[in-house]
Structure 1
């Protein structure tokens, strides 16, 4: 099983790009995209600061689950939006594991 830090290292570049893209594409109809981007940015900062240690992201993942309705993909979004939710759900699972 992949660790959280390994998962973030592998997917951070894509998540960085995709979380910005969903704001531009869906921010008007899905204001939660801004919260997702902000929470992801906070997670990235904490992960980098923690180095090899596992960061404390309990609060960020709790908020992400609330904001995304447990990563439920809205029916009117693009594949990039869906990918963000899927990757964040996988990151959450790796973090909890």
Structure 2
């Protein structure tokens, strides 16, 4: 089997070339969004995984997959932005209010028996507020700047965008930290034995939120922003 990937490849670069790798990394709890700029071997060692097993599985997936999905590293910046808005921003705008109700309800009903739900409630609503502000900043300010730059490049516009990117990346790190705390507190979203349907639904949706955010942040941190940085260098 020809090896497409090696352990010294950056995690984000792997997912950019082979989007289906995201599913494997999610399963192994390897951060490919905020942690996408480091070599795969670092995450493998951090998680105490078998190096050969991970890289072999990754390459077998690549070999057996005929359709590797749309290559966003080759699409226009405007197309990538529209994809992020239509898929990932739309997901958040739909799911965040639903999750808010669920997380609040399970705290009210089960909080006396599950003290960690207080932390889950607080962390989720901090994340919700941060994300809502983040989406507005992207859609109203930063994404229009990037689209305008793509149509009419200028050094001034590029420098302005670069400053905004630093803000977004910092916000991505904060969101990633909250997601990690939520996963730890919930013991990887383990459903308690006394969980009702609402409790179960809340934890399943929190896991879905994490999965979608990882994909979302990956597209920005490892594809959209680096391409802009490359144009700065050029």
1:24 matched to 2:142: no
Query: What is the distance in 1 between the residues matched to 2:115 and 2:90?
Result: 30
Query: What is the distance in 2 between the residues matched to 1:63 and 1:90?
Result: 15
Query: What is the distance in 2 between the residues matched to 1:8 and 1:82?
Result: 20
Q: How does 1:24-43 map to 2 (within 5 A)?
A: 24-43=108-127
Match of 1:48 in 2: 132
Query: What is the distance in 1 between the residues matched to 2:108 and 2:129?
Result: 22
Normalised by the length of structure 2, the TM-score is 0.39
Deviations 1:38-93 (A, max 9, x none): 11101111111112537521111000110011111111011111111000100100
Structure 2: stretches of 5+ with no match in the other structure:
1-82, 139-167, 216-234
Q: Which piece of structure 1 moves more, 53-62 or 28-37?
A: 53-62
Q: Which structure would you say has the larger Rg? A: 2
Match of 2:205 in 1: 87
1:67 matched to 2:185: yes
**In the TM superposition, what is the alpha-carbon distance from 1:32 to its structure 2 partner?**
1.1
Which of structures 1 and 2 has the larger relative contact order (alpha carbons within 8 angstroms, sep 6+)? 1
